Chain A
């Protein structure tokens, strides 16, 4: 506060900086009030929206926001030291999560509750006499908000005052509120009795648990400032593999004790119910035993073995746990297959084949066993990791060096989710997973080679996707011009041909544009993308069938000796095909990034002249980037064409190219996991928001997310190590002390 109190005569009161700031803040709240809520007037009354915004009592809330901003700005130097206290960030995240769950998310999919939001549901629930009193109490009007505000306020007070008692009280209230909300919601669900995939209650529970964790962190941490990353590193470094065992314990308990294994007629049969349900049917003895007792025993055994191996850091026990986990996983899958096959053989609940009508429990058990096997594997291999490994506590807290098993554990979490979440999801989300998330992840991986690694901005990337799609359409005979009979191929066999054609296309785009850089290259590639689309529209030689495109592209199939796999309409099967393709591409590209070509790409991106002078053949390296990126896109095109069955030029518009670039930038340019995460998040978000916000507001929310990212993580969700250095690493002092080079070190050889 440097406001001068004394005013010289003749100076207006407005020149006082405090007054100016106060007016600015009030103006801000006024504008906010106009922006939020209904916007349009009526034919008779154009001033309606304005009056609603400004003259109603709700303007007071906005003015309060303005005053709060003013107070914060004015006392900022005093507020700031508190912002680094341990627990403050989880507290903010948790609070925000709960508010989102209360205000935005759906709490039920049942049509009995009009929009399914928390407000509507709680009104209805509090007036339902048949609901258990505990749940009714929770949903009674101000209580949920009061609980939240009390938990948040006590948490905030604990952060500021740093009293252990206060922290534990806050944590207790938060846990209580979260569990109460979850329990009340599940009671409401069983009353409504319809299948439900709403996320509100779960998100609220997570938010409350985060607040509780923040309180606990405040109580437990001795330091003045927070070190979240150090804390997480510490968790992973304590015993490699143990975090996986912990998560597996939770998943396993949920899977074996609570979750539905089989859902005939919307009934939720847990493992016990399922076992009794199938006790008299012709289930194989092994599966019967698994449902009856073997499953529990295997869970307990592999959990104990993995935990003990992790605790003792014993590699042999680790391999044992890995083996036991895998065997259990296979047995579990066999049992799941058997019960669903028996269910299908009796056409139970309209089932037509195996793997139908299964609940979440079996898949949770699968994830559990996979994680336990992974934990064993991590224990077994933790000792043999190469590179600089963080050994001391200080190193772990500061994030210097590798934490053994951390990246493997994260990969296993993602893998478990990718393998066993989709069968639990609704058909809608399965479709989104395949035709949005999966395909765009593959495209983003391809574009990341061109944009992220080689630093060549390509705005026509979707053209190669189109080329891959049309190649497939031609070779399966779905276009007006038919290939000769001997050249007709099944869609999966088109993949190598599409790769070759896209390699050629990539090189032929790359070759003439090699001299261009930056914006100029972007413009030319953008033109290339449009040329391909317009050629497809113009139908030269009746090849592309013009705007109508190609239809009747067959589904992929494999007939290899005794193996017959036929992909039908169900999205889930495509998901696993896509998972195999993406997995292979990731393995290959991960090696590529660490190879001499990956370093040569980084070199031309950083300094092309120096790269040339160091002997890098920049022409070849750039062409390879274009070709490899293009062929990845071509594979995605083959997949897309044969999955969806029909293509036309509208699938390949400029907008899609720009979206893929946005995904790569959002995720972190030059980072393989980043590009994938960026594509996954930004394709998931619009679909997710469909249910949560009015359709007109969807783009606004996505824009807000991107804006927040640009402010808080400008290098992307998961920044590349090499790129991160480029963005800010150079100004930072190097992590190690600058040691003076000993007089003769290296120059040594003074003979």
Chain B
């Protein structure tokens, strides 16, 4: 595959604090290579979006970063919260990586449906607490204090995502968009330095998408949490992301600022299923990729475009 890899062009990257440093990771399932020699850096306090057609390896990348999968080759180091020393995450358990400051949401919502919204968030908050079973059984004062603190923190987070009034509803009975926001609140509850959002806008309506974009910016700017975002909705991605990484067939085909990516022939080829050279010609006639995305926004994703690409590309 003759992919053109754009150099990262974000300003003064050299001085910036690196959160995730991914170097040459390869992840295989039997004979299928899901991620092929991908390297990327994620910097402190940025919103980095990972895009690509279906099957490009985005979620596999997320799972490698959070310890669900262990890549066969390459290294991943993490400095989760500001001031942390970089540490390898390869082979670490998911909950350990979470404790290192990485929180995530899931592509298909994975809440605890039989717990209330408040309890869902509290599960996240409480993983940072100390009280053990014995102090809970005896009702020791410091356990009660922790309990109060976690309730307060959970209410704060529910207010942040706009679910305060739904705190005592069962998570399973919330509306779809509310469940998405609750998942973000639960992830924030673990006091992360970086949050990984896996298609947070899937299945939401335009108004909810705008709210979501606001929320992502708020989390990033006000709470100083770095955001790694997988999203198919190009309008959302282009509006919130500081930088983009494009994957296709498990390889990184482009990286750069949103406006650069929109003009990148390799990216357009990947999405439209034409060769890079043809695509380069098309850029003249159709300079902005996100207009294509707008047309397909109702499909919630560019899945179909991606699917056709896979069949046609050798």
Binding site for B on A (CB under 8 A): 388, 588-589, 591-592, 595-600, 602-603, 606-607, 609-618, 624, 628, 722-723, 725-726, 729-730, 732-736, 738-739, 741, 745-747, 749-750
Q: Which residue of A lies closest to B181 (CB)?
A: A746
Query: What are 10 of the A-B contact pairs (CB < 8 Å)?
Result: A588-B137, A592-B136, A596-B122, A596-B131, A602-B123, A609-B110, A610-B106, A614-B103, A725-B172, A746-B162
Q: Which residue of B lies closest to A725 (CB)?
A: B114
- Chain A CB within 8 A of B126 CB: yes
Looking at the complex, which one of B103, B123, B169 makes contact with A603 (CB distance below 8 Å)?
B123
- Chain A CB within 8 A of B220 CB: no
- Chain A CB within 8 A of B164 CB: yes
- Assuming the contacts A597-B136, A746-B159, asked whether A607 and B173 have C-beta atoms less than 8 A apart, the reply is no
- Chain A CB within 8 A of B124 CB: yes
Looking at the complex, which one of A596, A614, A741 makes contact with B98 (CB distance below 8 Å)?
A614
Looking at the complex, which one of B66, B123, B138, B143 makes contact with A611 (CB distance below 8 Å)?
B123
Binding site for A on B (CB under 8 A): 66, 68, 93-95, 98-99, 103-104, 106, 110-115, 119, 122-124, 126-129, 131-133, 136-139, 143, 146-147, 150, 158-165, 168-170, 172-175, 178, 186-187, 189-190, 211, 214-215, 218, 222
Cβ–Cβ contact A610 & B115, under 8 A: no
Whole-angstrom distance from the CB of B230 to the nearest CB of chain A?
15
**Chain B hits for A628, CB < 8 A:** 133
Q: Which residue of B lies closest to A750 (CB)?
A: B214
A-B pairs, top 5 by smallest CB distance, nearest first, are A746-B162, A615-B127, A595-B136, A596-B126, A615-B98
Looking at the complex, which one of A591, A610, A747 makes contact with B110 (CB distance below 8 Å)?
A610
Separation of A726 and B103 alpha carbons in the complex (Å): 25
Q: Which residue of A lies closest to B137 (CB)?
A: A588
**Chain B hits for A602, CB < 8 A:** 112, 114-115, 119, 123
- Assuming the contacts A739-B165, A747-B162, asked whether A616 and B123 have C-beta atoms less than 8 A apart, the reply is yes
Whole-angstrom distance from the CB of B69 to the nearest CB of chain A?
12
Whole-angstrom distance from the CB of A61 to the nearest CB of chain B?
48
- Assuming the contacts A592-B137, A595-B147, A746-B160, asked whether A725 and B218 have C-beta atoms less than 8 A apart, the reply is no
Separation of A607 and B172 alpha carbons in the complex (Å): 13
Separation of A616 and B133 alpha carbons in the complex (Å): 14
Cβ–Cβ contact A614 & B133, under 8 A: no
Cβ–Cβ contact B173 & A617, under 8 A: no
Cβ–Cβ contact A734 & B123, under 8 A: no
**Chain B hits for A734, CB < 8 A:** 169-170, 173-174
Whole-angstrom distance from the CB of B72 to the nearest CB of chain A?
21
Cβ–Cβ contact A617 & B95, under 8 A: yes
Whole-angstrom distance from the CB of A748 to the nearest CB of chain B?
8
Cβ–Cβ contact A599 & B126, under 8 A: yes
**Chain B hits for A589, CB < 8 A:** 137
- Assuming the contacts A624-B133, A730-B113, A746-B161, asked whether A614 and B172 have C-beta atoms less than 8 A apart, the reply is no
Cβ–Cβ contact A615 & B115, under 8 A: no
Cβ–Cβ contact B114 & A726, under 8 A: yes
Name, among A589, A606, A730, A736, the residue most crowded by chain B CB atoms within 10 Å (CB to CB). Answer: A606
Name, among B133, B150, B172, the residue most crowded by chain A CB atoms within 10 Å (CB to CB). Answer: B133
Cβ–Cβ contact B163 & A746, under 8 A: yes
Cβ–Cβ contact A614 & B187, under 8 A: yes
Cβ–Cβ contact B113 & A606, under 8 A: yes
**Chain B hits for A725, CB < 8 A:** 113-114, 170, 172-173
Separation of A235 and B114 alpha carbons in the complex (Å): 30
Cβ–Cβ contact B112 & A610, under 8 A: yes
Q: Which residue of A lies closest to B105 (CB)?
A: A613
Cβ–Cβ contact B136 & A596, under 8 A: yes
Whole-angstrom distance from the CB of A156 to the nearest CB of chain B?
39
Whole-angstrom distance from the CB of A627 to the nearest CB of chain B?
9
Separation of A616 and B122 alpha carbons in the complex (Å): 11
**Chain B hits for A612, CB < 8 A:** 93-95, 98
Known: A596-B146, A616-B127, A730-B172. 5 other contacts (CB 8 A): A596-B136, A598-B136, A606-B114, A734-B174, A736-B169
**Chain A hits for B189, CB < 8 A:** 614
Separation of A282 and B164 alpha carbons in the complex (Å): 69
Cβ–Cβ contact A722 & B115, under 8 A: yes
Name, among A596, A730, A732, A745, the residue most crowded by chain B CB atoms within 10 Å (CB to CB). Answer: A596
Separation of A735 and B172 alpha carbons in the complex (Å): 12
Looking at the complex, which one of B66, B113, B147, B211 makes contact with A747 (CB distance below 8 Å)?
B211
**Chain A hits for B172, CB < 8 A:** 725-726, 729-730
Name, among B132, B137, B178, B218, the residue most crowded by chain A CB atoms within 10 Å (CB to CB). Answer: B137
Name, among A729, A734, A736, A747, the residue most crowded by chain B CB atoms within 10 Å (CB to CB). Answer: A747
**Chain A hits for B103, CB < 8 A:** 613-615
Q: Which residue of A lies closest to B215 (CB)?
A: A747
**Chain A hits for B187, CB < 8 A:** 614
